[in-house]
Every structure is written in C-alpha cells, then in structure tokens.
Amino acid sequence: MVGAAPLTSVVGEPLAVARPLSWLLVISFLATGVLAAHTDARERARQLGALTWGVFGLFWLVLVPHFVLVQKSIVEGIGSIAAVPLSLYVGYLLWNGRDSLFTLSKAIGYMGLLYLPFTYLPLLESNPLRKWMIEVVAAQTGTLLSLIGVEPELVRGTSVLSEVPSSDYGYLSTFYFPGNERPITYTIIVACTGVGSISILAGAILAVEAPLGRKARALAVSVPVIYGLNLVRNVFIATMFGQQRMQWFVGTITDLFGTADEQMVSYYIADRLLAQFGSVIALVGITWLVVKVLPEILSLVDDVAYLVTGTEYDLREELTAEGD
C-alpha cells in the first residue's frame, strides 16, 4: 500500500524495543505481586511496583504510533494514549500507599504471561504457538463462513491490510475473495484469535484472592464465550469486507482513516468501528457474568473506576445491599 515504507520506518524500531521489554514488564509485575504477599517485603514491592508502572507508561507511549498510524484503530489508539498517564498515575498511587493496586499489578502480570507466548517468544524466529493459534482460528472461521454460504479460498500470503511486514502472513490464514474492483484478502492475525480478551479476563480472575473452584468456574463461564464471540466477529468482518457490503459514507471513511483505497471502507466500518467497539461492550458484559460467580473480581473494577473517575467505589458491598 502507498506509504508502507515510511510507516515501517516509524514503527519498526519502537516495536523491536517494545517486544522484549514486554517480557521484562511481566516478570516485574509478577515479582511485585510475590513480594507484596510478604509483609516484610511490602516496601520493596511498593518500590518495584511503582517503577514498573512508570516503565509500563513508557511502553504504551512507544506503541502509540503503531496503533494510531499503522493499525488505524480508534479503540486501540485511544486506549494506548490513555494508558500512558493512567500507568504513571497507578505508579504514583502505589508509591503513596494504595495497596489494593498490588492486585492490579499481579493481574497485569498474569495477563501478559498468558498473552505473550502467542505473540513474541524471545530467541525464536518462528513461534509455534502463534502459528497454531492463528491457523486453528482461521480454519474454524472458514468453516463458519461456509455454513452461511460464503466460501473464500484459504491461502498463505500477505494481506493488503498490512503496512508492516509480519510473520503472521506466512501462515495458512488468509481468506481470498476474488472479484470486486480487485481481489480482496482478509488475514487472521493474533489480534483476531480472541487470545487478548481471554488473557485480560483470565489474568484478572487468577489475580484475585478466591477459592480455586470458583476461579475455575469463572474461567469456564468466560473463556468459551469470548472464543465463540470472536469467531462470530471474524465471520462478520470477513463477509462484510470480502463481499463489500458496507461501502457507506465512502468519502468520510477514507478521510477519517487516511486511505485512498475505497475498497477498505467496508473493512474499516466492520472492524475498526463496529467490531472493535462491540468487543469492548461484549467484554464488559462477560465480566458481569464472571462477577456472578466470582464477586472478588469487583475489587479490580473498583480500582479501575477510581483511576478513571477519582471516586471511591465498593461495588461488591453495593451489590450485596441490593441483593438484600
């Protein structure tokens, strides 16, 4: 695509820094959680946690160009920008004695520990977990597409959506739609597997203090639902984009996303607007289901709500009072 080389130069080096740094951050977040569990090491945990959150803010700052300029994602762009001051604020609050944030720190560590093996493994040029997950999701997406009468060919190759080379595109994970103004390809990448949303909720579940049995039930409630909804999301995007069913407000959308390719309009509407915002809403709804099984997770919600609003909440107590 036009502008691929400049964008590659903009984000290539930051991503090369962010990927190995992500593992160091995960180790540091988990170490913070371990130290915080011991009273005599609480101050060391506070120092390590505050420092880690500060570096976490810089980590998201590095990734802003990737999400804004390359992915052209409103949700991920806003999220990465907001994560910078919020991370620094968490570090400040933790340093000044808000010990409940130790649980959030541990949750971030678990989230990364679950997610990173599918995205980046140090010292390995080819990631077998990444390949396996992407090709399984692509095959299942293809099966669902065939059930609704949409039958693109599943091939290996480079997606027209990518402006930065990625190893994802060598997998058997690209749907080829002939016809249209020119053939369209839609490639399943890690972000299309649902592993990100699963890691977020699973990390939160594992981090809170609760009986193991209820944690297992919470995972059983959330993981299959997220995975299934993600397959539906892939089918929706592939159909809308591959068959050009959302060529709406063409001039506005091409201007908004900075592209001259009018065939991309259906993709940007289906994925960047509808599916990504829908995924956020779905994750909130699934979290509510988890709360029914594991109310302890509301302690994390309380902290996140405080970071955003500056108001103290005790949602578990409020729900208990409503139940009475």
| Confidence (pLDDT) at 1 | 30
pLDDT at residue number 13 = 61
DSSP element (H, E) containing 26: helix 4-36
Q: Which residue has the tokens 């909130």?
A: 284
Contact 159, 174 (CB under 8 A): yes
> What pLDDT does 207 receive?
97
Provide the pLDDT for residue 323: 57
Is the domain of 277 the same as that of 135?
yes
Residues contacting residue 251 through CB under 8 Å, at least 6 positions apart: none
User: What sign does the CA torsion over 99, 105, 110, 113 have?
Assistant: negative
- DSSP-assigned beta bridge partners for residue 299: none
Q: What is the pLDDT of residues 61-78, one digit of tens each?
A: 998 988 888 888 888 889
**pLDDT tens-digit series, residues 125-167:** 788 999 999 999 999 999 999 999 999 999 986 544 443 334 4
Q: Do 183 and 105 sit in the same domain of this protein?
A: no
What are residue 72's phi and psi, to 5 degrees?
50, 45
Tell me which residue has tokens 């976490």. Answer: 56
Q: Are residues 199 and 271 both part of a single domain?
A: yes
3-state secondary structure 228-285: HHHHHHHHHHHHHHHCCCCCCCHHHHHHHHCCCCHHHHHHHHHHHHHHHHHHHHHHHH
Q: Is residue 107 part of a domain?
A: yes
Q: Is residue 190 part of a domain?
A: yes
Global confidence as pTM: 0.88
In a domain, 117, yes or no: yes
Same domain membership, residue 264 and residue 135: yes
Domain final residue, candidates 90, 122, 154 = 122
- What is the arrangement of strands in the sheet containing 172-177, beginning at the earlier edge strand? 153-156, 172-177, 184-187
Residues 132 and 263 occupy one common structural domain: yes
Domain that holds residue 215: 124-293
- Residue 305 inside a domain? The answer is no
Number of domains observed in the structure of the chain: 2
Average pLDDT over residues 50-58: 97
For residue 251 the two structure tokens come to: 């001039």
Residues 157, 279 within the same domain: yes
CA distance 315 to 318: 5
Tokens, residue 41: 């090491």
- The CA distance from 99 to 296, in Å, is 16
Share of the chain above pLDDT 90, in %: 73
The residue among 322 and 239 whose pLDDT is bigger is 239
Residues 165 and 105 in one domain: no
Note whether 84 and 185 are same-domain residues.
no
Both tokens assigned to 313: 């909440």
- 18 pLDDT band, cuts 50/70/90, is confident
Tell me what the pLDDT averaged over the chain comes to. Answer: 88
Asked if 140 and 177 sit in the same domain, the reply is: yes
For the stretch 207-237, pLDDT in tens is 999 999 999 999 999 999 999 999 999 999 9
Average pLDDT over residues 101-124: 93
Tell me, yes or no, whether 266 and 183 share the same domain: yes
Query: Does residue 319 lie in a domain region?
Result: no
Q: Which residues are catalytic?
A: 192, 233
State whether 265 and 142 are in the same domain: yes
Same domain, yes or no: 198 and 254? yes
Tell me the pLDDT tens digit for each residue of 237-269: 999 999 999 999 999 999 999 889 999 999 999
Q: Which pLDDT belongs to residue 160?
A: 42
pLDDT higher at 323 or 296: 296
pLDDT at 72: 82
